[in-house]
């Protein structure tokens, strides 16, 4: 594979994974926040991360610059090796969202890096092919290859991961008026810890309930049926175990539902909590209620309100 451009910068968005009942198989993209990555072609093979910076107000970063230990670097290494690239790259990463937030921070960096790299080559890969390389980067952060963050970060919209051998990802049509309120408590929950707390087996009755909720949510999204969406946004597998890791979770969920949310659950592995609603006005009211509940739990948090993004990551600059 040859490069025909020398430098590209791409933005990829934050994502909400699991979406309550869709553990490891469902995720959606937000319009903001997100990460930016600049990729530059070099004659020397391999990957070199030259800088990692963050926007003002974000926690100090301790992210590795070794590409084999960095999700963006690992994804790009996999792409270059897999496509037998005849060049190497330098990368600089601008974190515009907090790491360890449960909003797909690692996936956003990997997605932005892959989209930027893909814009430089003679024969760009499909978004579906990029997802496979993005999963290689995600494995660095979580210990396993999963696509429920990186697939919507690359493809945009709401994405169902039907299977992994081979990777089979499907964009799900949805109402255009869906808004997401996300609140990030000022604490961290590691993905590995959140996965480790889950039971290895679940009762058949629990599995059937979860399958029904997932099927109902997909049907509700495709039919633009807010009532069905609301009834289906229930997680009986991960949330009962992970809620204990998040300060004020139950109070925030109760506040969100009381303020009119269609549903509320943990974003990814946490600590962020998300709620869906049918308008920006509702999303803002829900955010206010959730923030008050979190504050009463003696913890501060950062609030994000965004329409669900129907678009893919974007190229910021190309030359």
Residues annotated as catalytic are: 138, 191
For CA atoms 265, 107, 246, 182, the dihedral sign is negative
Residues linked to residue 51 through DSSP beta bridges, in sequence order? 92
CA atoms within 13 A on the CB side of 187: 17
Residues linked to residue 91 through DSSP beta bridges, in sequence order? 39, 49
Cα–Cα distance measured from residue 48 to residue 101, given in angstroms and rounded to the nearest whole number = 26
What are the φ/ψ torsions at residue 158 (nearest 5 degrees)? -100, 130
Helices 71-82, 127-142: axis angle to 10 degrees equals 130
Cβ(267)–Cβ(182) below 8 Å: yes
């Amino acid at each position: 594979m040859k490069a025909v451009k020398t430098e590209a910068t791409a933005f990829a968005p934050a994502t909400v994974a699991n979406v309550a009942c869709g553990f490891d198989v469902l995720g959606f993209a937000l319009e903001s926040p997100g990460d930016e990555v600049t990729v530059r072609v070099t004659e020397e093979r391999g990957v070199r991360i030259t800088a990692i910076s963050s926007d003002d107000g974000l926690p100090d970063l301790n992210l590795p610059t070794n590409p084999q230990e960095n999700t963006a670097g690992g994804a790009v290494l996999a792409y270059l090796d897999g496509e037998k690239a005849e060049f190497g790259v330098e990368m600089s990463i601008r974190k515009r969202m907090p790491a360890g937030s449960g909003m797909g921070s690692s996936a956003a960096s990997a997605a932005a890096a892959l989209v930027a790299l893909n814009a430089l080559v003679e024969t760009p890969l499909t978004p579906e092919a990029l997802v496979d390389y993005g999963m290689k980067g995600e494995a660095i952060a979580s210990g396993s290859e999963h696509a429920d963050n990186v697939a919507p970060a690359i493809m945009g919209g709401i994405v169902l991961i039907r299977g992994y051998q081979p990777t089979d990802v499907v964009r799900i049509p949805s109402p255009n008026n869906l808004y997401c309120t996300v609140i990030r408590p000022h604490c961290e929950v590691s993905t590995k810890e959140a996965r480790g707390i889950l039971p290895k087996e679940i009762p058949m009755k629990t599995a059937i309930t979860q399958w029904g909720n997932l099927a109902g949510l997909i049907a509700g999204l495709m039919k633009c049926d807010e009532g069905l969406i609301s009834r289906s946004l229930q997680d009986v597998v991960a949330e009962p175990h992970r809620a204990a890791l998040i300060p004020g979770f139950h109070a925030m969920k109760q506040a969100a539902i009381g303020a009119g949310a269609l549903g509320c659950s943990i974003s990814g592995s946490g600590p962020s909590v998300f709620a869906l609603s049918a308008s920006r006005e509702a999303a803002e009211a829900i955010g206010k209620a959730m923030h008050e509940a979190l504050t009463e739990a003696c913890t501060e948090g950062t609030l994000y309100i965004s329409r669900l993004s129907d678009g893919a990551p974007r190229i910021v600059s190309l030359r």
